[in-house]
Amino acid sequence: MNNVSSSDIWYIVLIAIFILSFILNFTDIPQRMQLWRFASYVRRRLVQLDEIENDIRRRLVSYLSKLNVASPKEVIDNFINNYFLIEPVSIEPTDIIRRLAHLINVRDANVKEYVERYIPKLQKPEKHNVIVALEIASAINIVNKVLKHYFKLGLKNNNWILLMQLALSMPEILRIVNAYSKALDAFSLGTPIGDGAGPLVVRYLVGSAEPKVITEDTVYYEVSLNNRRVYAIKAEGPGATVGRPGEAVDKLIEMLGGNVARVITVDAALRLESEDTGEVAEGVGAAIGDVGPEKISIERAVTKYGIPLDAVVIKMSIEEAINTMTKEVYDGVLKALERVKELINSKVREGEAVIVVGVGNTVGVL
């Protein structure tokens, strides 16, 4: 019979702790273990992402088939692998916005020409919806490809930090990708989305007034509100387009010879986690989330004539912004409408002109 005293056990434990401490401090074993853990986690999420992408393709094929497209798979594949945009040179900033605007317009024209070539008999609103549906599939494909690239790079170089970053970012990325996936239904059905809050405010503001085209895919209305001349700009609906609100504001201000008392921009804004959907906030500046050209057009036009620029925003999450408008966002639209009317009544004198810009995607809103 062996008698083991507690001091013997402690001796063994101390040796084990020493060996463990040596392994933890002077070998790569812990990092390799973490790398396996993170790699396994990311791999499972990438499988989910593949499933989402395949599901989107299936739904898009079904949507295009209903529009009598002969070879929907070919239309999707050709679109997804092409139509990238190379950003203009930025180390020489002169004219960068003009160059960027030009490149964006060229890409837009190419995309429209592509859809026109494959689906020529479609009405304009449905054509815009198809373009956005293809853009959604393309965006998810790019996200999937980029994530796989970094995953493989991390494994190849045993870069556990890269894999850890990926693993920690995956839930948020998947949340956004899921939101995009659901958005396909909104665009194929043609329902208004959360981002359409701005155009919807304009729709309610102008009532049954007749629209006039001011620039590509963008219209304006002229109405009177308590003896103030209101010029309201929005994208041309009910197809999925954001139009060119910046260019429209610039043209309209020039048309009016700069005699504009105020410009009010209304747009959807991403809410913080602590904020509620449908909250309305008011501030100063151009409420528009574009890459630059449209926003700078508004800023330059108002600065040229010293016109005050207001912003009214309706708060919502990214999921709510790109999916069918929820009741909470709709209630926010009604609040924003009242806020815009208050602004006009309190800050624009009778007889003066004011421009209201409903910024956002006008899908489902005439």
Partner 1 sequence: MVQFTSLDYLTIILLILTTLLLIFTIISMFTQKRISKTVIGPKIIVKIKCLNNDYNEEKEFNKGYYVGLETGKCPKCGSKLVVDAIYSVGGTKEKELR
Rounded to the nearest angstrom, the gap between the alpha carbon of residue 245 and the centroid of all alpha carbons in its chain is 16
162: how many CB neighbours lie within 10 A of its CB?
A: 18
340, 312 contact by CB (below 8 A): yes
Interface stretch with partner 1, choices 25-33, 187-195, 277-285, 350-358 (CB under 8 A): 187-195
**Closest CB 346 distance from partner 1, rounded Å:** 26
316: how many CB neighbours lie within 10 A of its CB?
A: 28
Between CA 301 and CA 259 the distance in angstroms is 12
Q: Which of 313, 321, 327 is nearest to 284 (CA)?
A: 313
Complex with partner 1: residue 1 or 91, whichever CB lies closer: 1
By CB under 8 A, the residues from 307 to 346 that bind partner 1 are 323-327, 329-330
70: how many CB neighbours lie within 10 A of its CB?
A: 10
203 binds partner 1 (CB under 8 A): yes
**Closest CB 211 distance from partner 1, rounded Å:** 10
By CB under 8 A, the residues from 274 to 313 that bind partner 1 are none
Complex with partner 1: residue 85 or 270, whichever CB lies closer: 270
The β-bridge partners of 354 are 230, 262
By CB under 8 A, the residues from 9 to 48 that bind partner 1 are 9-10
Interface stretch with partner 1, choices 200-208, 213-221, 276-284, 345-353 (CB under 8 A): 200-208
**String marking each residue 141-180 x if it binds partner 1 according to CB under 8 A:** ----------------------------------------
94 binds partner 1 (CB under 8 A): no
State which of residues 72, 154, 238, 360 lies at the interface with partner 1 (CB under 8 A): 238
Between CA 107 and CA 242 the distance in angstroms is 15
**Closest CB 263 distance from partner 1, rounded Å:** 24
Complex with partner 1: residue 263 or 333, whichever CB lies closer: 333
4 binds partner 1 (CB under 8 A): yes
191 binds partner 1 (CB under 8 A): yes
192 binds partner 1 (CB under 8 A): yes
SS3 annotation, 137-203: HHHHHHHHHHHHHHHHHHHHCCCHHHHHHHHHHHHHHHHHHHHHHHHHHHHHHCCCEHHHHHHHHHH
Site size toward partner 1, by CB under 8 A: 28
**Closest CB 86 distance from partner 1, rounded Å:** 36
Complex with partner 1: residue 161 or 366, whichever CB lies closer: 366
303, 253 contact by CB (below 8 A): no
Strand order in the sheet with 309-316: 212-215, 218-225, 228-235, 353-358, 262-270, 309-316, 280-284
Binding interface with partner 1 (CB under 8 A) = 1-6, 9-10, 125, 189-192, 200, 203, 208, 237-238, 323-327, 329-330, 364-366
